[in-house]
Amino acid sequence: MKILFLGEYSGAFLEICKGLNKLDVETYRISDGDSYKHIPTDYLIKVKPFSNRYASILHYKVWNRLGISRLFLFLKIWKSLKMKLVGYDVVMLNNPRFFPFGDLINRYIVSYLVKHNKKIFMAVLGDDYYVDRWYFANDNKSLMYKMHKRDKIIFELFFGKYLTDYIVKKTTAIIAPTWVYKSAYEWTGKTSKLIPFACDESRIGIPFCIKEGEPIKIFHGWQKGKEYRKGNDVFDRVIKKVVLKYGNKVEYQIVQGVPFEEYQKMYSECHIYIDQLYAHDKATSGMYGMAAGKIVFAGFEEESLQEYPHYKGEEIGIPSSMDEDILYKQFCDLIDDPRRMERISKNAIEFVMANHASRKVAQMYLDVWNSVQ
């Protein structure tokens, strides 16, 4: 069986491929490395940043809206790229915008994929038109978050929806790793059973033990330009109040814009790991934090947790409150109870091993690919 993975999202496809390779399944990945994260891939689409502000404005305000973003790059590499897109049993797209080109170009590529491969599947990884619409219609988030989603939906109303609807029509099935992502696409009638994010077993660490007098280390990965989506600004305000209360008993580190592997090394010594505020579940980064035995602040809402077959109600992380006073208390309660922190660390690792181990997740993908015609 030959599987082609197109696009990347914080290493999600990388981790699935590790599991598939352990099951002797042949895989090939093509992506831009997920931008600045530099996720390893088999064929890299090299995207250079824009050299000046005016070129950037032209890209976002004109080329994106026309659906022909990075047209010249596409024309330059298409002859070599298209040879890599032929002859697979399964093609997995990570998102409607699986490649860093405009929507019309990605639509053209999908039409090419349909002609030259057996089955096309789309994973719902990251926010897209229908995920944003679901959040806007169903979530009671902050006003700024809701306005951000509304503006994005309006911006993508034509090409974003057009591209996504075309892909939905052409795909065999849609595979989602979280309850929200699955809910956003249930209207299609093509969603498979939920398949969690994969985590290679080599990433799974050991529970931490807090020594007497050891400072509690808080790690905050802050994605530039995504404050409204992740709630970084809220976390930052609250954590600074926590630092003010506890002084040198707490260490606070903010990290921005570093490659994926370097990012993971940087949080290796922390105790508390900030994932996101406005979520029902955790993202891939939160899962990696849990695998390393960190206490993750993320969604962890009941409807999401019930999707995991090996969850028994244990405390595996902290469900981030949007109320800053409650969020502040959540931090303080943790810091005042080191033994509770150690229990959560242990539970988080066991949860990842039971639900996210790459070999298990890879088998779930194989089951879906083989069962759907």
pLDDT of residue 257: 82
> Which CATH superfamily, name and number, covers 202-355?
Glycogen Phosphorylase B; (3.40.50.2000)
* pLDDT per residue rounded down to tens, the chain (373 residues): 999 999 999 999 999 999 999 999 999 999 999 988 899 999 999 988 766 666 666 666 666 666 778 889 999 999 999 999 999 999 999 999 999 998 999 999 999 999 999 999 999 998 889 998 888 888 766 666 666 667 676 767 667 899 999 999 999 999 999 999 999 999 999 999 999 999 999 999 999 999 999 999 999 998 776 666 788 999 999 999 999 999 999 999 999 888 888 888 899 999 999 999 988 899 899 999 999 999 999 999 998 999 998 999 999 999 999 999 999 999 999 999 999 999 999 999 999 999 999 999 999 999 999 998 7
CATH of segment(s) 2-198+358-371: 3.40.50.2000
Distance CA 8, CA 10 (A): 6
Residue 164 has phi, psi (to 5 degrees) of -65, -45
Distance CA 59, CA 61 (A): 6
pLDDT of residue 166: 96
Three-class SS string for 270-283?
A: CCEEECCCCCCCCC
Judge if 2-198+358-371 and 202-355 fold alike in CATH terms. Answer: yes
pLDDT of residue 173: 97
Residue for token pair 């996720």:
39
* Sequential DSSP letters for 102-128: -HHHHHHHHHHHHHHSSEEEEE--S--
One-letter amino acid of 249 = K
pLDDT of residue 225: 64
Distance CA 24, CA 366 (A): 12
pLDDT of residue 157: 66
Distance (Å) of CA 103 to CA 32, 64, 109, 114: 16, 8, 10, 17
Q: Where are the domains of the chain?
A: 2-198+358-371, 202-355
Give the residue from 287, 318, 284, 314 showing the smallest Cα distance to 300.
Answer: 318
pLDDT of residue 260: 81
Distance (Å) of CA 313 to CA 204, 320, 345, 354: 21, 17, 15, 14
Residue 4 bridge partners (DSSP): 28, 91
pLDDT of residue 137: 84
List, in order, residues 6 or more apart from 268 with CB less than 8 Å away.
292
